Structure 1
Amino acid sequence: MGATADERLLRALYREHGGPLLGYVLRLTGGDRPQAEDVVQETLLRAWRHPEALSGRPVRPWLFTVARNLVVDAHRARRARPPETGIDEQVVGTPGVDDIDRALESWTVAEALSDLSPSHRAVLVQTFYQGRSVAEAARVLGIPPGTVKSRTYYALRALRLALEERGLAP
């Protein structure tokens, strides 16, 4: 007997997005593969339950956003439960939710930056991360200031698209 339309949809989603989604969630969970696999499974299950959410929009950003929300929700749920035995020293050193959110965003931005061309990445690193002016960045990179300006413009556009694909930009 052939697969139903729902089964074909789920298989197609997994085939096309499963690998990148698992890699993304592994980074979010600090390499906890069982937890990452559970998050990917739950993310795909939600896509299967709500196919209307996938129509008329890019699928991958939606999947990445759902996965990120699941990881954050799981972290918050663990923190909300009272400890089973006294105060554990490991729990005391656990970063707060804001720290986790910032770390997740940092990983996502770093991943998006790695998708940019080397020339675009270089101008953004010089101007935003190193805090250099256009003239200073031009000197360091050995290119004219006008090139720094235009590359920065196009690099920011490319970065915004890369972040939107990951569900981070509005």
Structure 2
Amino acid sequence: MPPAADNGSAMGDEASAMDGGAPAMGTDGPLVEDFGRRIGRAMGWPPIAGRLAGVLMLSPTPMTLSELQTTLGASKGSTSEMTRLLIANGTVERVKVPGVRQAGYVWRDDAWSGCLQHQLAQTEQLLELAKSAQERGVGMPEAQQARLRDMHSYYDFMVRQLRRLLDEYRQLHAG
């Protein structure tokens, strides 16, 4: 597939794709659809978020919300909500594109580290819940206290392991 023209947008050849020309790089339908199904399902995201992740991961340049909306054939609200989801999950960032009024969105160079950082932050929140629940559950019957101890033990273990994995992953990609 020939690369898209570098016109400051991943949509460079998208209009020609609609007219029967080659699609812009990053908008390969079957691959994007596969992302929608597989990464979306694995991450617990709606399929449109997986498709958006696929488009941005494969795009050589930032894409505006309007370009993403057109590429995905999705509503403005859905596209906006899914970009926020991917930003919160640490894989996408909003950027200023020179000469363009709208913000652009790009797949982060450190997206997988960002994704792992997001998982760690979520797990740390659950560890705090487990600590609080364990403290507040002191007067409960032993069976419930055991469940709360198990919850605390699990999230304590997960936080330690995720921190180790994040450090190891960052070291692996630093050199």
- Structure with the greater relative contact order (CA < 8 A, sep ≥ 6): 1 or 2? 1
Kindly indicate which of the two structures has a greater share of residues assigned to strand: 2
Does TM, normalized by the shorter one, top 0.5? no
TM-score w.r.t. length of structure 1: 0.29
TM-score w.r.t. length of structure 2: 0.28
Kindly indicate which of the two structures has a greater share of residues assigned to helix: 1
